[in-house]
Chain A
Amino acid sequence: MSAIETRGYAHPEVLVPTEWVAAHLDDPTIRLIESNEDPLLYPSGHLPGAVEVDWVRDLNDPVRRDYLDRDGFQALMRRIGASPETTVVFYGDKNNWWATYAYWVFQLFGHTKARVMDGGRLKWSKEGRPLVSEVPTLAPSRYEAPERDDERIRAYRDQVLTHVRTGGRLVDVRSPPEFSGERLHMEDYPNEGALRGGHIPGAVNVPWARAIVPEDGTFKNAAELKAIYEGEKGLKPDADIVAYCRIGERSSHTWFVLTYLLGYPRVRNYDGSWTEWGNLVGVPIEKGA
């Protein structure tokens, strides 16, 4: 039994430890995918055989604010040589923040053979495991992608507005100053990309990184996570929950935690998040902690 299986997660199979990844570097049924916020990291060194999936160039529509469509996802999967039987293993910087974002987008297309390497780049690097700069050459696959399904795990603004009006639960995973609406004022400093500060009414504030053990970037165990989300913030596992942040990346991390590690069945990520809500005319906003 690995350490992950002792942590009490609802779906421990979604996480793989670094040792498992090290033992599967040459496994043709596995595709390692690095997704980072920092564009210099993958070119500076990555896990042997890993491909990069960049959230801007690969996951977003280049024109509209939206994710890639069926054709785009199909082209991406073909480029990285993945078949429907390929198990994709995501990892990255910032405690797998962007890795879980990519994971979430992949779930919009139903590629459920997906895992996250617990601890991400930080743990792999701290363990002194190899990083290489060679980009793998992969034979394109003939992946046939389904249409994107936004119903289950993605929330749009009108759905969130209805959610708020019916007293639905929300988790705002931004920092406390972002949640409260307090402005980090500094001369020449850029604003938050929104005209109003604060949070969506009814939201509880759980900064996304509270789910992480900072020393090695691994996820906290289920008991620790329940103490935060349920004990401290009063979330109910069977509730319909919407997570949001600024553009939906940090909240995808919390979506991953609530959905797979705690097993909540109805969690959606509002990717419009504060850059949409804080700019919308007439929607309700709360300020303060």
Chain B
Amino acid sequence: MLPAKLQRTLDAFAFFTDRSERIQALISIAERFRPVADAVAKRPYPETAKVPACESEAYCFPVPRQDGTLDFHFAVDNPQGISARAMAVVLAESLSGAPLVEVVAVPGDLPTQLFGPELSMGKTMGLTGMVAMAKVAAQRALTRDNPAP
């Protein structure tokens, strides 16, 4: 099962039959991007938070909630990294507070589901890396909460 908010986003994107509709929706999503608050992370951001192979220099900051779930915050340093900002908004809005097992189950091809099949390999890798960072953080939190016997 996917996080409910993410499922709703994917359902909405599934209705797009025209590439320009999908693009405009993603641009609108990217416009909701906000910089990471100083309370979450301050520059220079640690290399451990950097999304590997993301040329938009994205950083992922998972912050534990009281209920054991995670809040996800993303920084995108490339001022032209509009796709990375769109992906950051989707992930932050739909995975924050979601059950960790559902975050871990987010499909690796989420960027393709959102952006369509015409992404470059590099762009796909960067966006997939953002998804992977969130999933790994959720998996680590799960393992902490449920250590192997």
> Which residues from chain A sit less than 8 Å from chain B, CB to CB?
37-41, 43-44, 54-57, 93-94, 121-122, 125, 184, 186-190, 193, 246-247, 249, 275
> Count of chain B residues with Cβ under 8 Å from any Cβ of A?
32
The answer on a CB contact under 8 Å between A37 and B123 is yes
The answer on a CB contact under 8 Å between B27 and A39 is no
The answer on a CB contact under 8 Å between A41 and B108 is no
The answer on a CB contact under 8 Å between B80 and A54 is no
The answer on a CB contact under 8 Å between B132 and A188 is yes
Number of contacts between A and B (CB, 8 Å)? 74
From B131, which residue of chain A is reached at the shortest CB distance?
A188
With A39-B118, A54-B118, A186-B52 known to touch, is A125 a contact of B79 (CB < 8 Å)? yes
B53 neighbours in A (Cβ, 8 Å) = 184, 189
The answer on a CB contact under 8 Å between A40 and B82 is yes
B132 neighbours in A (Cβ, 8 Å) = 186-190
How far does the alpha carbon of A40 sit from the alpha carbon of B84 in the complex, in Å?
10
A193 neighbours in B (Cβ, 8 Å) = 121
From B109, which residue of chain A is reached at the shortest CB distance?
A190
Interface residues of B in 18-39 (CB under 8 A from A): 20, 23-24, 26-27, 30
**Residue in A37, A57, A190 whose beta carbon sits within 8 Å of that of B108 in the complex:** A190
How far does the alpha carbon of A186 sit from the alpha carbon of B81 in the complex, in Å?
23
From B136, which residue of chain A is reached at the shortest CB distance?
A187
From A94, which residue of chain B is reached at the shortest CB distance?
B55
How far does the alpha carbon of A186 sit from the alpha carbon of B119 in the complex, in Å?
22
**Residue in B20, B115, B121 whose beta carbon sits within 8 Å of that of A43 in the complex:** B20
